[in-house]
């Protein structure tokens, strides 16, 4: 006769930190990523270059394309940052359920604003503030985002990452 295996009351041990701590760490990480994204934006963006003429500083039509590329770079950085962070957040905080949705939207939107402010503050100053310019000089434009759509890229792709991570986690 085989002896019965011992009965254990032991529940599976969850080695992860408490949900509140994971929430704080995950949230702060996105805000820090906003700072890093702003620094990356300053490095990658190629702003329009204003030209000094006899009648003042003007933005030529050819140079105005630089403004569009600055916005595209901002949106692309937001897309990648939000997408990757939201996948990590979904994996780190699966026990939060539906609360992840507003959390992702709010934190990615805040990170977008932080990145924008970092870029504006650390990027080139406004062309009008440049001194000692001679006719023919070119002055870079200040980094700017003149619409809401580039800011919406951040939370939209945060939600795409969250949905993708949740869907793949449920399929395994």
The CA-based angle 119-121-127, given to 5 degrees, is 95
- The residue behind tokens 């937001």 is 78
User: What's the pLDDT at 22?
Assistant: 87
User: What's the pLDDT at 72?
Assistant: 94
User: What's the pLDDT at 164?
Assistant: 94
Confidence of residue 52 (pLDDT cuts 50, 70, 90): confident
Please compute the mean of the pLDDT values over residues 26-54 and round it to a whole number.
91
Please compute the mean of the pLDDT values over residues 23-36 and round it to a whole number.
95
User: What's the pLDDT at 121?
Assistant: 95
Q: What is the mean pLDDT of the chain?
A: 86
Cα–Cα dist 31/103, whole Å: 12
Q: What is the pLDDT of residues 76-135, one digit of tens each?
A: 999 999 999 999 999 999 888 889 999 999 999 999 999 999 999 999 888 777 777 777
Structural domain boundaries in the chain: 24-47+64-127+139-171
User: What's the pLDDT at 62?
Assistant: 66
Query: pTM value?
Result: 0.82
Q: Residue 142 gets which letter from DSSP? A: P
Cα–Cα dist 96/80, whole Å: 23
User: What's the pLDDT at 75?
Assistant: 97
């Amino acid at each position: 006769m085989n002896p019965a295996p011992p009965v254990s009351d032991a529940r599976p041990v969850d080695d992860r930190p408490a949900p509140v701590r994971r929430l704080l760490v995950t949230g702060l990480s996105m805000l820090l990523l906003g700072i890093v994204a702003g620094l990356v934006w300053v490095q990658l963006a190629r702003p329009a270059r204003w030209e000094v003429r006899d009648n003042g500083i003007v933005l030529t039509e050819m140079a105005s394309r630089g403004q569009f590329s600055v916005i595209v770079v901002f949106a692309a950085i937001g897309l990648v940052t939000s997408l990757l962070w939201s996948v990590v957040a979904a994996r780190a905080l699966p026990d939060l359920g539906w609360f992840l949705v507003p959390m992702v939207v709010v934190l990615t939107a805040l990170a977008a604003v932080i990145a924008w402010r970092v870029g504006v503050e650390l990027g080139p100053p406004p062309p009008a503030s440049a001194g000692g310019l001679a006719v023919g000089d070119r002055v870079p434009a200040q980094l700017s985002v003149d619409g809401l759509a580039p800011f919406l890229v951040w939370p939209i792709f945060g939600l795409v990452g969250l949905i993708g991570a949740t869907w793949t986690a449920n399929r395994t």
